[in-house]
Structure 1
């Protein structure tokens, strides 16, 4: 709904609740339907995407598709979401923020009380194991899947090792999921669908591989019952999700109060654009998500690769180079007179040529739409947030385009500079920025990569060492000397001349340069 005229907050603003609705601009949602979905990874993206699609689907067709959201990480922000929704009858506001300053708002109202995976692991396992649960969805980020660079289960991860030992409550998202599936197998429960909503190419197949490898690592008795249940009763369709939903700020909370006269502790800001592409392979039914605009197709992999490389890949370029140029937000970075054209060049000349686009998708038009979305100032998407966990993101975002260009005999200049920028950000931290207080970039590989860089010495040699031995890019890319030499040269230029001058030196008059 469109936001009503500005409203002056009352001295004591009541919290959002079913009893307080409707108010102008906010309708009262129906009571949450019977639970049929357990979602691992309760955060802003899920609440602005899957929950919205589910709420809209339920306006067209009934169904037991209420959602129990589970916090799977230790972050206080996610804990705050559970507690904030609990105090508001499991409600929250989705604020759709237009580039022109327009605001629309909705209250999905499809959630049941949330669970904290760390403190309530047994309750999570029980919820997954219940016969009424038909779908388990995940948005746990790349980090949550605990896989190796080759895509297999990381048996050396302490969380995985503990979950396989079974001596305590499950600690990893996969551990929670597998123990829930194990309970279903022992109780002869109905079939189940596990649906990844994370940025992983062919995420359905990847999730199935991880589940099967987890089951195979269990003791013999457990292994046999779980392997059999996975084979006979669990489907893992692939999906591609797309909507920018940045972190919530106090300004977003104030926006709800100003316009609606209610207090929402956990609103979600989001852009107007949204897309959900899925394989239609559900073992026990699903919501009518297509009634809300979801696309069911056999081309999910093409959509996912397109989005990962063009949207997410460009996002990472804007984040790392934007930080070095002093930009706190993505919209500021894309508006930069040097950086914006460089990222457009990377998208059209270095990434697009290696893509097999889905039928009916126009590549240049899609790129133009992406750049307009990035430029939305209302979102305030922080570069430091987008830049986090690059050691896990860059292999799936940049490795494919790099490999394609290098195999064709060219070095993709902007992507090479992007790798050098990532190395500078992760190994130098906030001292790499020209502008202070842009925010810390979180990456589990920071200590390891900094140690490599410090042993190497000067910036060029440090960049070489990180690319060749840091595990951030696969061997077909990291082993190409023409590429690593270019990354090293850009690393030296960033140190000697700064990000602005280095970016200005990048040749943008051809799709990519010869080595």
Structure 2
């Protein structure tokens, strides 16, 4: 069987159409999500309306995708998995692939090139270098500190964007920076950190004026579950397409992209590929970040502590389903202003099918990783909404408690091998923050007082006390007992006044 290349691609398998040789988009972050989401929309958009919108892709540090992608003429396959079976297709939209860490000057040059009109980003929530306490640029982050000391040789994503835009300001061609990460008000957030960096680095007024008036930062909501590729993925693609793909992507059959139609230098016909152009992006974002992502975190942490290796395995546990649906009903939905026309019951029903997708087999440890960053987008706002309304958000407290026990367990508590696999850059800081804490409650309070969640949330004694109480229950009686405790409280109508001690 031959490797996947331009010559061996089965014509019927090609998604969209071949991209032009010219590139109009620069992308940072060549991971699975980009290749299963924005790249697919771009390929389909070019099939509907041809244009110079090929993608110049940059991985952050690894050659894991770059080398096989280059060897395959920048083509790769997507294995789409659903309860109805598997389908495979080939995407041909990238025109170059490089590693940022190997040659940062090439990335800056790509940003400066006048023909390039859009930078898309999948750098994860951590890549925006935002403070968990303030939401602003974290000037104390080591990479930001180093970049501000030498802004002509940056290493952070924010510093690199700032330098590229500063040099692009010399010719003044309009440009768009489009975040494709799970970041609420992602466009506003990206504009803010880039502008704050430029101001802190002493950028001149012409550069700041260019970024303000000629660079667009549209908000966008992205939604597709894209689990890690496994060795079996290549075998499945081979069976379906008859070629060997060294860098395939697995994805669910659901995909959604909602965009503000604010592009300074034009865009592909993403709307003709199924993207939704809306002035209510932030409402869609909130629905997704809370109902899907927030619930996903709860499934992952409860499942991890219960020994369930995949999200479908966890979802099959009645206590987890009950906790998630109670969280949606009592904690999340009251905090959301829904976009016009959204059938929320149908949306929630679709989520239950996505979480049950055993063919996808999304790993619990993957979803539970990086919670210290992810939970900032999912917990504080709805929790504060409930607390200010006089209600304790028991399922949000349970999510927080389960995260603490999975990532930084209290002394004497063993979270299990699945929780041990979860990655979190803040794990060391959590360990340091809890050093010397006596007992599960003190451990939980130490984490909450260490700045992992906003001060405006941890100022609510009722929330801190409830999280500490549930951590204690997890440690002493197990995660199922804690979920049962939270569920009873969610359905009892207890108030903040009743919960405060």
1:488 counterpart residue number:
468
- From 379, 399, 410, the counterpart of 2:380: 399
- 1:22 equivalenced with 2:5 (yes/no): no
- From 345, 358, 362, the counterpart of 2:326: 345
- 1:313 equivalenced with 2:301 (yes/no): no
2:82 counterpart residue number:
98
Question: What is the total number of aligned residue pairs between the two structures?
Answer: 494
- From 107, 110, 115, the counterpart of 1:127: 110
1:470 counterpart residue number:
450
- From 13, 26, 30, the counterpart of 1:42: 30
- From 175, 186, 196, the counterpart of 2:179: 196
Whether the 8 Å contact between 1:95 and 1:104 is mirrored in structure 2 is yes
1:3 counterpart residue number:
none
What SS does the aligned partner of 1:455 have? Answer: coil
1:143 counterpart residue number:
126
Whether the 8 Å contact between 2:407 and 2:420 is mirrored in structure 1 is no
> Whole-Å Cα distance in 2 between the matches of residues 198 and 421 of structure 1?
24
Whether the 8 Å contact between 1:429 and 1:441 is mirrored in structure 2 is no
Q: Within 5 Å, give how 1:426-445 maps onto structure 2.
A: 426-428=407-409, 435-436=416-417, 440-445=421-426
2:223 counterpart residue number:
242
Whether the 8 Å contact between 1:425 and 1:432 is mirrored in structure 2 is no
Whether the 8 Å contact between 2:405 and 2:471 is mirrored in structure 1 is yes
TM-score (norm 2): 0.94
> Whole-Å Cα distance in 2 between the matches of residues 142 and 370 of structure 1?
22
Whether the 8 Å contact between 2:410 and 2:440 is mirrored in structure 1 is no
1:429 to 1:142, Cα distance in 2 relative to 1, 3 A: farther
- From 158, 164, 172, the counterpart of 2:156: 172
**1:91: how far off?**
0.6
**1:167: how far off?**
6.7
What SS does the aligned partner of 1:285 have? Answer: coil
**1:451: how far off?**
2.0
- 1:295 equivalenced with 2:279 (yes/no): no
2:96 counterpart residue number:
113
Whether the 8 Å contact between 1:426 and 1:450 is mirrored in structure 2 is no
Q: Within 5 Å, give how 1:250-261 maps onto structure 2.
A: 250-261=231-242
- 1:387 equivalenced with 2:368 (yes/no): yes
- 1:498 equivalenced with 2:486 (yes/no): no
Whether the 8 Å contact between 1:326 and 1:433 is mirrored in structure 2 is no
1:154 counterpart residue number:
138
**1:430: how far off?**
12
Unaligned runs of 5+ in 1: 1-12
- 1:265 equivalenced with 2:246 (yes/no): yes
> Whole-Å Cα distance in 2 between the matches of residues 124 and 303 of structure 1?
32
**1:504: how far off?**
2.7
2:398 counterpart residue number:
417
- 1:185 equivalenced with 2:166 (yes/no): no
Whether the 8 Å contact between 2:14 and 2:91 is mirrored in structure 1 is no
Whether the 8 Å contact between 1:246 and 1:269 is mirrored in structure 2 is yes
Whether the 8 Å contact between 1:430 and 1:440 is mirrored in structure 2 is no
1:344 to 1:229, Cα distance in 2 relative to 1, 3 A: same
What SS does the aligned partner of 1:148 have? Answer: coil
- From 32, 54, 70, the counterpart of 1:86: 70
What SS does the aligned partner of 2:204 have? Answer: helix
Unaligned runs of 5+ in 2: none
> Whole-Å Cα distance in 2 between the matches of residues 81 and 373 of structure 1?
27
1:60 counterpart residue number:
48
**1:277: how far off?**
0.5
Whether the 8 Å contact between 2:411 and 2:439 is mirrored in structure 1 is no
> Whole-Å Cα distance in 1 between the matches of residues 418 and 256 of structure 2?
33
**1:512: how far off?**
5.0
**1:245: how far off?**
0.8
Q: Residues 50-89 of structure 1, C-alpha deviation per residue, up to 9 Å, x if partnerless?
A: 00000001011111100011112x3x4xx21111101111
> Whole-Å Cα distance in 2 between the matches of residues 26 and 507 of structure 1?
48
**1:429: how far off?**
9.4
Q: Within 5 Å, give how 1:3-14 maps onto structure 2.
A: 13-14=1-2
**1:383: how far off?**
1.3
1:388 to 1:44, Cα distance in 2 relative to 1, 3 A: same
What SS does the aligned partner of 1:247 have? Answer: coil
- 1:216 equivalenced with 2:199 (yes/no): yes
TM-score (norm 1): 0.92
**1:500: how far off?**
2.1
More moved, 199-208 vs 222-231: 222-231
